[in-house]
Amino acid sequence: FTWTLYTWKKLVHLDLKGAPPRVEYLHRLIELFSELGVDGLLVEYEDVFPYDGELKLLQATAQPAYSRDEVLSMQEFARSKGMEVIPLVQTFGHMEFVLKHRSMWHLREVAHCVGTLNPHREEGVKVVMEMLRQVVELHPGLSTLHIGADEVYMLGEGEESKLWLASPGRTVEQLFLSHVTKVARAVKEAWPHMTIIMWDDMMRGMSLDTLKASGLVGLVQPMLWDYTPNLDVSKTVSLLEKYCSAGMADLWAASSFKGSTSVYTCVTSTQRHLDNHLQWLKVAASLSPAVNMKGIAITGWQRYDHLSVLCELIPVAIPSLAVCLQTLLHGQFSAEAQSLTPTCVADTVFPGRRLAELIVELNALLNSEDIRFFENSMFVRGWFSPYQRQRKTVTPLITMQIHNQASLFLATLQQKVEAVREEMAKLYPDSTVQEWIEEHVSPVTAPLQRITEDVAACLKEMVP
């Protein structure tokens, strides 16, 4: 079965909707991916794509979008390393980066759901097609396009959808299919030779008959995603077989090397992602010959969605990616793959390794009980409670010890944070550095800072 999986294309997903790497670092990563045996990149630009004209407002403001030249040079460099580039453009759900803009509010399915497009407005389809047109135009010779379409939350809840669904025999499934079919057909009309990939999750519950009659047969290639370490093999196999029986024999898998543990994970758990890939190997071994698996996208989410916090940065996840790729290439977790696990990170030179080491060290500090729960320590709770602080009735001797300890923790953290900041700024824009520190460090340092200030204020009242 190793051989069958060996024929799968291996794509690495670059999620640029958070922490978009500086161009030089992006090129170093692409070089590394090619050394690890990657066949292509699945690139999700979102707001760092240089949208123009009426779509210029979609460009990020926190950090500059990539320039047209940078997007072209990234593709050229990937091609020179034997890798194809497949852009992923969301066309239905997860359109937060479009629908958050006031001038686009009226295109939401429901007002309070920023991600889902109203499928009844012709203007919405026009916006989607203009996004696709600009992306395709900036990818010369493009042959494959991913149109997203996962997690279309609240579909059917809008007023126009309720009216549409009031007609007998109409379902939310049909509503979903009609929009995706409309988009896919428009893509084929504009670019007849384009292969179209889409996420599969909205189709999982559909019957064989619904899928057969969907209009998507022969139009799209579903990509079934499952990032869990305990992926249900038989369920996944039967889903893939169902799509195949419906006439969609060309299929893709999607696994994960980072960004799927929790929404705010800071350091990647390699074991979790290795287990996910071992389960996918079992799926590959169990499929009937009728199923034509085109490849697997190894996803690396940087945010769960446009408005959520950052997941792990790429450098801390490179050992995980290496292990996952080696596992797919060898059909098992071999000794060769093992030599690339995080325990050996110190011996493996990879781009961003220094930052990865610093993040792991800082993360350990931030999560040490002494620091994280300093406010709950016996001395603070016993001699420097909110009640005592407010009334400035404190024991100077113990309070000074508390101050010294808090100051020491702050100094230790500050030193490590500065090292992280300096290293991170080499690889990522300043806005990413700022966001990462405010998310991970500030919540831990702020209470310590407050204690030192409160101690100083109280001591003024108590000590001559």
**Per-residue pLDDT for the chain (464 aa), expressed as one digit of tens each?**
444 577 899 999 999 999 999 999 999 999 999 999 999 999 999 999 999 999 999 999 988 899 999 999 999 999 999 999 999 999 999 999 999 999 999 999 999 999 999 999 999 999 999 999 999 999 999 999 999 999 999 999 999 999 999 999 999 999 999 999 999 999 999 999 999 999 999 999 999 999 999 999 999 999 999 999 999 999 999 999 999 999 999 999 999 999 999 999 999 999 999 999 999 999 999 999 999 999 999 999 999 999 999 999 999 999 999 999 999 988 876 555 555 554 444 457 899 999 999 999 999 999 999 999 999 999 999 999 999 999 999 999 999 999 999 999 999 999 999 999 999 999 999 999 999 999 999 999 999 999 999 999 999 888 88
Residue 297 sits in the same domain as residue 162 = yes
Which run of H or E residues covers position 31? helix 23-35
On whether residue 331 sits in a domain, the answer given is yes
Q: What is the pLDDT of residue 339?
A: 57
Residue 88 sits in the same domain as residue 197 = yes
Query: Can you tell me the distance from the alpha carbon of 373 to that of 185, in angstroms, rounded to the nearest whole number?
Result: 57
CB 15 within 8 A of CB 44: yes
Look at the chain and report how many structural domains it folds into. Answer: 2
Query: Can you tell me the distance from the alpha carbon of 49 to that of 64, in angstroms, rounded to the nearest whole number?
Result: 9
CB 270 within 8 A of CB 256: no
Residue 332 sits in the same domain as residue 381 = no
Q: Is the pTM of this model over 0.85?
A: yes
Which residues contact residue 82 at a Cβ distance below 8 angstroms, ignoring those fewer than 6 apart? 34, 39
| 357 a catalytic residue | no
Instruction: List residues bridging with 255 in a β-sheet.
Output: 298
Residue 75 sits in the same domain as residue 160 = yes
CB 95 within 8 A of CB 46: no
Residue 161 sits in the same domain as residue 24 = yes
Residue 325 sits in the same domain as residue 377 = no
On whether residue 4 sits in a domain, the answer given is no
Candidate list 31, 130, 151, 357, residue with the active-site label = 151
Residue 62 sits in the same domain as residue 117 = yes
Look at phi and psi of residue 58 and say left if phi exceeds 0, alpha if psi is from -120 to 50, else beta: alpha
Q: What is the pLDDT of residue 334?
A: 59
Q: Which domain holds residue 446?
A: 359-462
Query: Can you tell me the distance from the alpha carbon of 142 to that of 261, in angstroms, rounded to the nearest whole number?
Result: 32
Q: What is the pLDDT of residue 340?
A: 52
